[in-house]
Amino acid sequence: MMLGVYVVYCMVVSILVLCADCSIGCASGRFVHESNNANVTYRENTSVAASLYDRGLSGDLIVIGAYGNNINKIWSIHASTKIILSFSKFDLEDGWDYVIVYFCDVVTSNVGDCTKISENTGHKIPKQHETNMGTVLIQLFSDESESNTGFIAHWTLEFTDDNCNGCSIDAYKSTAGDGPCQDCPPNSFGPEASNNKSYCTCNSGFTGPDGDDCIKCDVGFYKTKVGSSQCLQRDSIRQHDCKCNSGSTGNDRGPCTECAYGKYKVESGSNECTECASGTHSMKNGSSTPDDCICNPGLIAHNGIPCSNCMPGKYKDEMNDTECKSCFTGKYSATNGATTENVCQQCPLNSNSTSGSIRGTDCKCNPGSNGQDGGPCDLCISGKFKVESGNETCTSCEIGKISQNVGGITDHVCQQCPPNSHSSYVGSQRQDCKCNPGFTGQDGGPCELCMPGKFNIAPGSDSCIDCMQGKYSQKFGGIAEHICQKCPSNSDSTISSTIQPDCKCNPGLTGQDGGPCSECAPGKYKVQHGNSTCTPCPIGTYYDNVGAKLEKDCKQCPSLSTSLHSSQKIEDCKCNS
């Protein structure tokens, strides 16, 4: 930490303008308007005093001598043009004293409203900073000791021609920079933005070198032109020889009055001013030529033809000889000689027209809409589309395709029906897509394949049909009942059976699932469907036939006799002991 800090802060201000020869300030013939001046303010958080910039294009802020410990100073520069900040000297206590630069979009001295651009300490000169417009804040911090020699900063405003205004017609400015325009000598004037005194030329009735003093013509002399020409001697200096000039009227010897708006007078004398031709009007007093008479709104001169009406589809809302303006695309007008854009009427909804259209039927239905020229135009319904503008009808999607879109403008809106469905109509919508035979599902899909043991004959949303009892099918997506095959002889199956082993041997028969099935032998029976073996008739009974289905089919032996299991005939019954 260093003790005894001596800091000098100096802001040097200059004004720079961008131009072809890179001169400083505005180009000759132009000056900086007051609104482009910079506002420079100063705020500090200590009791150290400092001088303050005046509002303007230049000035000085100088802080000299020991500025004390724990300093927090802020300088604010605000301008409506480009601000350039640079440093020519920089010597702060490295790591302890700082200069921080901020750019702000608003007028402020609060660093919290701004963006930090750089934080500088030590001895390295900071880089140049530039901002197009707004506020630049420069903040100085120091610690509790003093050292080093401070810094020097420069700020400049950089102007373009947009920031500079042309001198008026009675002034000039011959040098570039921020100086003011100079008045032309009395009784002279020049063009706007004159950059040399020689552009100041003597008015009529006065003579003298360009840029010099102008002297009034002597009695008996006159001068009608602007410039340095000499005054001419009149033929007579008697009052009754004075005639009103062209552009003015009145009695000889005066007084003379300028021709009013809408009139002109070519020759000198006492003749009345002439009315501008029909459909034209002059826009100034004292017109001396019919060329000052220009076409009224709604009229146009064309190919040497006097002012005539703007054609339908066009209008002219100004006093000039420019072309009539066309109604915009999507509008039309049948009005001749229209003087306002308000005559241009909007085409009906979903239609359009070319610029300059003259009738409602020029409005053609847009792609995706149909109707008569001039409307009304309705959007193509779903299942249809229309590619071109005009009165053609909407085109239907081809069979097997659908469209959910309203107002389709291309056949790309036509999509295939969902998988495993189809439509039988042109211009179909999604609900027109029916599930194919062999599938089931809601109209519009999705459609699911009929499972084995089922089939579906007709397109639509009907459920798949079960194969009947005693039949089975292994096929997916069956489309006819004949896919259901009969079970083998002497076997049966439940509805929707899917494989041959679903066919079970009937009661009274035995065999593998799916067959073949053979009848139970004499002396046996079988109650259930399936592949179980036949059950022997119980002791004391016999069965002398085949295919017994119930235990009660086994016959009882005669009284006082019995038999073994599976006895097949009455002779197997033996008398009891």
| pLDDT tens sequence for the chain (577 residues) | 332 222 333 222 222 222 222 234 566 655 554 444 455 554 444 332 333 333 334 444 444 445 556 778 888 888 777 888 888 888 888 888 888 999 998 888 788 889 999 999 888 999 998 887 788 888 887 777 766 777 788 878 776 655 677 788 788 988 877 678 899 999 888 888 888 888 899 988 899 999 899 998 888 788 888 888 898 887 654 555 678 888 899 888 778 999 998 899 888 888 899 998 888 888 888 888 888 888 889 888 766 667 888 999 999 988 877 789 999 999 999 999 999 999 999 999 999 999 999 999 999 999 999 999 999 999 999 889 999 999 999 999 888 888 888 999 998 988 888 999 988 877 677 888 899 999 999 998 899 999 999 999 999 999 999 999 999 999 999 999 999 999 999 999 999 999 999 999 999 999 999 989 999 999 999 999 999 999 999 999 999 999 999 999 999 999 999 999 999 999 999 999 8
3-state secondary structure of 482: helix
Is residue 286 helix, strand or coil? Answer: coil
Q: Is 435 exposed, middle or buried (0-12, 13-18, 19+ CB in 10 A)?
A: buried
Question: DSSP states of 114-132 as a string?
Answer: SEEEEEE-SSSPPPPEEES
Locate tokens 């705020």: which residue?
A: 43
> Other CB atoms closer than 10 Å to residue 62's CB: what's the count?
12
Specify the pLDDT at position 39. 54
Q: What b/e sequence results for 501-519 when a residue is b if at least 16 CB atoms lie within 10 Å of its CB, and e otherwise?
A: ebbbbbbbbbbebbbebeb
Task: Please say whether the beta carbons of 239 and 213 come within 8 A.
Answer: no
State residue 26's pLDDT score: 64
Q: Beta-carbon neighbour count of residue 363 at 10 Å?
A: 26
What is the set of domains in the chain, with CATH numbers?
8-165 (2.60.120.290), 451-500 (no CATH), 503-577 (2.10.50)
198 phi, psi to nearest 5 deg: -65, -15
CB atoms within 10 A of CB 543: 23
Please tell me the predicted confidence (pLDDT) of residue 512.
94
Pairing of strands 364-365, 351-352: antiparallel
